[in-house]
Copies of this chain bind each other. A is one copy, B any other.
Amino acid sequence: MDDLKPRPANSSPLTPLDFLERAATVYGDCPSIIYSNTTYTWSQTYRRCLQLASSLSSYGVSPGHVVSAVAANIPPMYEVHFAVPFTGAILNNVNTRLDARTVSILLQHSESKLALVDHQFSSLVLEAISLFPSNINPPRLILITDDDYASSPTVDSNFCCTYEGLVEKGDPNFKWVRPQSEWDPMILNYTSGTTSAPKGVVHCHRGIFTITVGSLIDWSVPKQPVYLWTLPMFHANGWSYPWGMAAVGGTNICLRKFDASIIYAMIKRHGVTHMCGAPIPNKEPLRNPVHILTAGAPPPAAILSRTESLGFIVSHGYGLTETAGLVVSCAWKHQWDVLPATERAQLKSRQGVKIVGFTEIDVVNSESGESVKRDGLALGEIVLRGGCVMLGYLKDPVGSGKCMSDDGWFYTGDVGVMHADGYIEIKDRSKDVIISGGENLSSVEVEAVLYMNPAVNEAAVVARPDEYWGETPCAFISLKAELKKRPSEKEIMEFCRARLPHYMVPKTVVFKDELPKTSTGKIKKFMLREIAKAMGSSRVSRM
């Protein structure tokens, strides 16, 4: 059988880019994108992407280059997911909530050749460019104007042209650049990173292909859904759904800004069937069911049951920027339908099982590498293996090697348990786990109890060194402003003692006016950890 090897006819690189041409053939006259007063069809979107790719190429964008996009969920943001890789270049979406200093660092680190800038964020990007050292060439800037959003600024000398100008003058017969190999990089996403060094996650065509088809099957997405873009596309490429919508010929409802009332208006006006992100309850029930996919912290039971009673069908999953989308999802079982609401919410809050097409997930003891007991109690690190795990971090072979060792696992840094039925549940980030007297304890579980105290506004629990126990939990708390009586440290500890095992109760409580946070609103635990370390041993009495 030695002649039975890959051949050109069967080994063409797996890539999601093929989906767009197919959508133009099958769904040519159907709406691809609706935004404010603009509607595009799939043949128009295909044509516009080819034209943009053609112009980018003529600007010198070539395979391996990085092109950045800094934009809200508007039509150009959708188009770049095809147009940029159509040139062979790598798409880098920038989180628009970052500060100028961070944006500057990311643009420098990625060596971005060109940035497509939504005019809402032009001052952010211009400030970021002004922070470039004089010996580093900043990217050329293209301005995305938007008549539906305030008046468009004139293109000043900072920008070489407008996005629409590029589209207009591009060649609709441009032959898009197929990847030489399915392992060629296609996407670069920076993780929000609560620590200092930027981590640029690189995904290849094969990875994006597998997350896209796996996600469609896992969520049972039918043909021609109506998809509401509330999840930012800069956030892990909207969990792969820009490509997924082309595969099934869906309608992308784009939105620059939104709140609950806008979401409900859009659902009504366009007959939305699918959306991703956090459920936003309202008073009004839906006319037709809307599928909503949510990830990260599961919605609390009350929110969940309220949302579901309005007509939302909530699915819950888990993924990381490093997996290009959700690779674990809480596959629902019919027999759970009859359970009481709180029990259902508890089951749904578990992250679940691998999606179809992903290879393997497990929860392992970080030291021995062995699977933890399937008892829903033993803490271990979540490890993953599958086609959509990133190629690695850009310019960081050490970082890549650390989380992907030769044993074939990607170490997520997330700590969880494996339930008896094979469903996993995340409990904490591994660096946030506190080891006290040989017991692993989840800081998130302690925080959850602290949040139950009506006086607590924000809470973060980290390890404080201890001579005897190794570490003990140390709680940083900001209290609510309008309190009549502020609780004491002791009262907080007693509150925890009534609700937690002894070893999990904070041995130190520190009140702060506000906890330090990153630009994306995450509490900077590493900074609190430094403070706790500087306090020295907690020297608690033996228990």
Residues of A at the B interface (CB closer than 8 Å) are: 1, 3-12, 14, 18-19, 22, 25-30, 64, 183, 185, 202, 204, 207, 209-210, 213-214, 216-217, 220, 222-224, 247-248, 331, 333-335, 353-354, 356-360, 384-392, 394, 397, 400, 404, 406-410, 421-423
CB of A331 within 8 A of CB of B26, answer: yes
6 contacts between A and B (CB under 8 A): A1-B64, A1-B394, A4-B400, A6-B391, A9-B408, A18-B359
10 further interface pairs, Cβ-Cβ under 8 Å (given A4-B185, A12-B387) = A1-B394, A4-B391, A9-B408, A10-B385, A18-B357, A213-B213, A213-B356, A217-B217, A220-B223, A247-B356
CB of A4 within 8 A of CB of B353, answer: no
* A213-B357, A356-B213, A421-B25 as given contacts; A4 in contact with B220, CB under 8 Å: no
Query: Smallest distance from the beta carbon of A322 to chain B beta carbons, Å?
Result: 10
Query: Smallest distance from the beta carbon of A384 to chain B beta carbons, Å?
Result: 7
CB of A3 within 8 A of CB of B331, answer: no
Pick from B8, B22, B335, B407: contact of A8, CB under 8 Å: B407
Pick from B64, B333, B392, B422: contact of A7, CB under 8 Å: B392
Query: Smallest distance from the beta carbon of A313 to chain B beta carbons, Å?
Result: 12
Q: How many angstroms between the C-alpha atoms of A4 and B185 in the bound complex?
A: 8
Query: Smallest distance from the beta carbon of A228 to chain B beta carbons, Å?
Result: 20
Copies in the complex: 2
For residue A406, which residues in chain B have a CB less than 8 angstroms away from its CB? 8
Query: Smallest distance from the beta carbon of A178 to chain B beta carbons, Å?
Result: 9
* A220-B222, A353-B26 as given contacts; A3 in contact with B400, CB under 8 Å: yes
CB of B9 within 8 A of CB of A247, answer: no
For residue A7, which residues in chain B have a CB less than 8 angstroms away from its CB? 391-392, 400, 404
Q: How many angstroms between the C-alpha atoms of A359 and B206 in the bound complex?
A: 13
Pick from B1, B12, B353, B388: contact of A22, CB under 8 Å: B353
For residue A390, which residues in chain B have a CB less than 8 angstroms away from its CB? 10
Query: Smallest distance from the beta carbon of A38 to chain B beta carbons, Å?
Result: 22
> Which interface residue of A14, A29, A222 has the most chain B CB atoms within 10 A?
A14
For residue A421, which residues in chain B have a CB less than 8 angstroms away from its CB? 25, 28
Q: How many angstroms between the C-alpha atoms of A217 and B215 in the bound complex?
A: 11
- Closest residue of chain B to A6, judged by CB? B183
* A1-B394, A391-B4 as given contacts; A384 in contact with B9, CB under 8 Å: yes
CB of A410 within 8 A of CB of B185, answer: no
For residue A207, which residues in chain B have a CB less than 8 angstroms away from its CB? 10
Query: Smallest distance from the beta carbon of A281 to chain B beta carbons, Å?
Result: 26
CB of B22 within 8 A of CB of A397, answer: no
Q: How many angstroms between the C-alpha atoms of A392 and B384 in the bound complex?
A: 33
CB of A9 within 8 A of CB of B185, answer: no
For residue A334, which residues in chain B have a CB less than 8 angstroms away from its CB? 30, 224
* A3-B397, A5-B183, A185-B1 as given contacts; A353 in contact with B223, CB under 8 Å: no
For residue A422, which residues in chain B have a CB less than 8 angstroms away from its CB? 25
Q: How many angstroms between the C-alpha atoms of A333 and B30 in the bound complex?
A: 9
Query: Smallest distance from the beta carbon of A14 to chain B beta carbons, Å?
Result: 6
CB of A12 within 8 A of CB of B354, answer: no
CB of A385 within 8 A of CB of B12, answer: yes
* A223-B220, A335-B29 as given contacts; A389 in contact with B353, CB under 8 Å: no
CB of B389 within 8 A of CB of A22, answer: no
Pick from B19, B214, B224, B386: contact of A12, CB under 8 Å: B386
